[in-house]
């Protein structure tokens, strides 16, 4: 499978590309560590809402923080999926396929594709951090001015964000993905190949039931705030409230 052609030859890209890594919300193929207790359909609905949140929030970051970046959506299983085609139109985001045998290979390919199109720095962001402050994205991009690598640590030992100023395929080889060793091993590899690395603030991503319960608790606490001060989208708030009720009934 070849990467999606980007057709940028006639365009002048910004210096920075922000790539959102996402899967289509197909039941049984997303959020599998949450199913059970969630049904495959519930897990897919939650995931789909997270993808939309990430796109909406990064679009707001580009607008409100006046960041000179181009946004991409790296799609699995394919950029031709109707879910992604709708997002391309509604969210003004460019699509490319995720290509590779594992997550590391797919991330490495995304970096290769975008550096080849002239970007000087590329930042990859996951979709499991729906409450990530917009300023974290700005910090990550700013950090690349003086560093070769920036990582956003996840609380489970992985990372929710990675940014580079040049290709570094070593960072994505021989990593036990979806384990608590990912961040540590990535940092060790970066030091070995002489990359100057920076960390931004850690954030909780949502992979396990404990993560989901923490997110539901945070969402409930936010209901006491003024509407303009809320982080959760009304869509994700509704999904989490429905899931909370269903989980209570199942226990």
Between residues 205 and 64, which one has the greater pLDDT?
205
To which H or E segment does residue 182 belong?
helix 182-192
Q: Name the pairing type of β-strands 94-97 and 69-76.
A: parallel
When mean pLDDT is compared across 5-9, 151-155, 219-223, the lowest value belongs to 5-9
What CATH code is carried by the domain that includes residue 127? 3.90.550.10
Percent of the chain with pLDDT over 90: 81
What burial letters (b/e) apply to 54-68, b meaning 16+ CB within 10 Å?
bbebbeebbeeeebe
- What is the rounded CA–CA span in Å between residue 224 and residue 186? 39
- Taking residues 214-227, what's their average pLDDT? 90
pLDDT value for 9? 42
Task: Give a yes or no: residue 190 inside a domain.
Answer: yes
Task: Give a yes or no: residue 214 inside a domain.
Answer: no
Residue listed under structure tokens 């006491």: 224
Task: Give a yes or no: residue 74 inside a domain.
Answer: yes
Task: Give a yes or no: residue 137 inside a domain.
Answer: yes
To which H or E segment does residue 245 belong?
helix 234-250
- What is the rounded CA–CA span in Å between residue 44 and residue 215? 17
Task: Give a yes or no: residue 233 inside a domain.
Answer: no
Residue listed under structure tokens 């931004």: 200
Task: Give a yes or no: residue 215 inside a domain.
Answer: no
The whole-model pTM stands at: 0.91
Supply the range of the domain harboring residue 41: 16-205
pLDDT value for 12? 53
pLDDT value for 127? 96
3-state secondary structure 8-77: CCCCCCCCEEEEEEEECCCCCCCCHHHCCCCCHHHHHHHHHHHHHHHHHHHHHHHHHCCCCEEEEEEEEC
Q: In total, how many domains does the chain have? A: 1
Enter the DSSP assignment of 4: P
In this predicted model, what pLDDT tens digit does every residue of 11-70 receive, in sequence order? Answer: 456 899 999 999 999 999 999 999 999 999 999 999 999 999 999 999 888 877 677 899
Calculate the alpha carbon distances from 182 to 57, 121, 155, 159, 167 in Å: 26, 22, 11, 7, 18
From edge to edge, which strands make up the β-sheet containing 149-153? 94-97, 69-76, 16-23, 121-125, 159-164, 149-153, 197-199
Q: Is 53 left (phi over 0), alpha (psi -120 to 50) or beta?
A: alpha
In this predicted model, what pLDDT tens digit does every residue of 81-131 receive, in sequence order? Answer: 999 999 999 999 999 999 999 999 999 999 999 999 999 999 999 999 988
Task: Give a yes or no: residue 65 inside a domain.
Answer: yes
Task: Give a yes or no: residue 169 inside a domain.
Answer: yes
């Amino acid at each position: 499978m070849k990467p999606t052609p980007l057709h940028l030859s006639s365009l002048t890209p910004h210096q920075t590309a922000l790539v959102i890594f996402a899967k289509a919300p197909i039941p049984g193929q997303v959020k599998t560590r949450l199913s059970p207790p969630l049904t495959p359909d519930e897990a897919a609905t939650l995931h789909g809402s997270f993808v939309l949140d990430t796109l909406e929030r990064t679009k707001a970051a580009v607008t409100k923080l006046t960041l000179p970046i181009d946004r991409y959506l790296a799609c699995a299983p394919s950029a031709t999926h109707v879910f992604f085609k709708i997002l391309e139109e509604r969210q003004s985001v460019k699509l490319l396929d995720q290509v590779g045998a594992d997550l590391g290979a797919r991330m490495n390919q995304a970096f290769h594709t975008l550096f080849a199109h002239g970007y000087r720095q590329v930042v990859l962001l996951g979709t499991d951090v729906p409450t990530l402050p917009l300023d974290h994205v700005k910090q990550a991009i700013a950090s690349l001015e003086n560093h070769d690598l920036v990582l956003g640590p996840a609380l489970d030992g992985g990372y929710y964000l990675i940014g580079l100023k040049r290709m570094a395929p070593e960072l994505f080889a021989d990593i036990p993905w979806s384990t608590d060793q990912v961040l540590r091993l990535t940092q060790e590899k970066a030091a070995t190949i002489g990359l100057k690395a920076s960390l931004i603030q850690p954030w909780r991503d949502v992979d396990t039931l404990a993560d989901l319960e923490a997110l539901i608790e945070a969402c409930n606490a936010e209901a006491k705030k003024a509407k303009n001060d809320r982080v959760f989208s009304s869509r994700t708030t509704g999904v989490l409230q429905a899931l909370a009720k269903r989980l209570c009934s199942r226990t």
